[in-house]
Amino acid sequence: MKLYPLKFKPIFKERIWGGQQLRRFFGKNLPADVKIGESWELADLPEDKSEIVNGSLAGQTIDAVLAEFDKAITGIDDYQRPFPLLIKILDAQDVLSVQVHPDAATCKRTGKGHPKTECWYIIEAQPGAAIYKGLKSETTKEQFAKAIEDGTCADYLIKVPVCVGECHFLPSGTCHAIGAGLLIAEIQQPSDTTYRVFDWNRVDPATGQGRPLHVADALEAIHFDSSGDSLSVEDTGRLVDADEFKVDKGHQMPGGEVLLAGQMKVLIILSGRGQIVAEQMEATEFEKGDTLLVPAAFECVMQFEQECEYLTATVW
């Protein structure tokens, strides 16, 4: 079988802080009257596996296809499942909890969880929108633990105003929170391990209770020896250049073309439309809101019908 660019069915996640902006901005077919905070565009986790929606592989899940075509898709001989990226679009209508994701060393030391380094690309931002990105310099574990008890831990976080087009890198071990009024593309390692330390005294209307906290695990995972001041933010070209993944930003005008060959790529289409063409293959259409996986063994050309901004995520 000749492989081709794969498109996926979004997995929608209801969240207390979500909304319906993914319908307005990207035209996603959300369930009505439900606060959707996350659209998982490409996932290979135990309980959430993306389903292919185009071509001859439609209906199969990403893990099944990788099991059959691992090297042709990834381009490497020693591929180890799961798929190395988790791609999400977030709709933060309210502030998210203050939280942290562990790094590999913490997971090994504690015997639980999976590491998660991530980045946030700002798609849309309401006036005054901000994120909380790392701890202030010289914050100690003891200070932060007391602040969690007092409900003042946000005072120790660095609040960063954000603009559309910025990409903020957050290595695992970084304490963080997403503020209200933001649409974000999140590119990350394939993990859903989250340790919540503060939820703004919020009550879940479905349960009448606050959401559970994971203070002890969070204090083990936070990197108190590094300040949020040192974390990168980029808005053009190579946005992230980390061991875990690379992210590049592309901008093409109508009539432009880009060759894709020799390396597995995940494309996140932020605006515009076009098609991916190859010899003796039916064209694969793409438009704003699509996420596509281009196999390493597939040589093709992106052709742009409208002005288009997109992100390209690579691993190897």
Q: Where are the domains of the chain?
A: 6-239, 246-314
In whole angstroms, give the CA distance from residue 201 to residue 84: 34
Q: pLDDT at position 203, please?
A: 87
Largest CA distance in the chain: 65
Q: Is there a common fold for 6-239 and 246-314?
A: yes
pLDDT in tens, the chain (316 residues): 689 999 999 999 999 999 999 999 999 999 999 999 999 999 999 999 999 999 999 999 999 999 999 999 999 998 888 999 999 999 999 999 999 999 999 999 999 999 999 999 999 999 999 999 999 999 999 999 999 999 999 999 999 999 999 999 999 999 999 999 999 999 999 999 999 999 998 988 878 889 999 999 999 999 999 888 888 899 999 999 999 999 999 999 999 999 999 999 999 999 999 999 999 889 999 999 999 999 999 999 999 999 999 999 999 9
Decide: 212 and 143 in contact? Cβ < 8 Å: no
Please identify which of the residues 15, 196, 202, 211 carries the catalytic annotation.
Answer: 196
* Fold category of 246-314 in CATH: Jelly Rolls (2.60.120)
Strand-pairing partners, residue 168, are 120, 233
> Which letter does DSSP use for residue 190 in this model?
S
CA separation, residue 194 to residues 98, 115, 174, 200, 218 (Å) = 10, 10, 11, 16, 8
CA separation, residue 156 to residues 132, 141, 146, 148 (Å) = 10, 11, 11, 10
In whole angstroms, give the CA distance from residue 66 to residue 83: 8
202 is catalytic: no
Q: What is the pTM of this model?
A: 0.96
In 3D, which of 224, 40, 56, 189 has the Cα closest to residue 115?
Answer: 189
Decide: 17 and 92 in contact? Cβ < 8 Å: yes
Decide: 146 and 152 in contact? Cβ < 8 Å: no
- The first and second tokens of residue 244, run together, are 């875990």
Domain 6-239: CATH superfamily is Jelly Rolls (2.60.120.10)
CB atoms closer than 10 angstroms to residue 183? 23
Q: How far is CA 41 from the centre of its chain?
A: 9
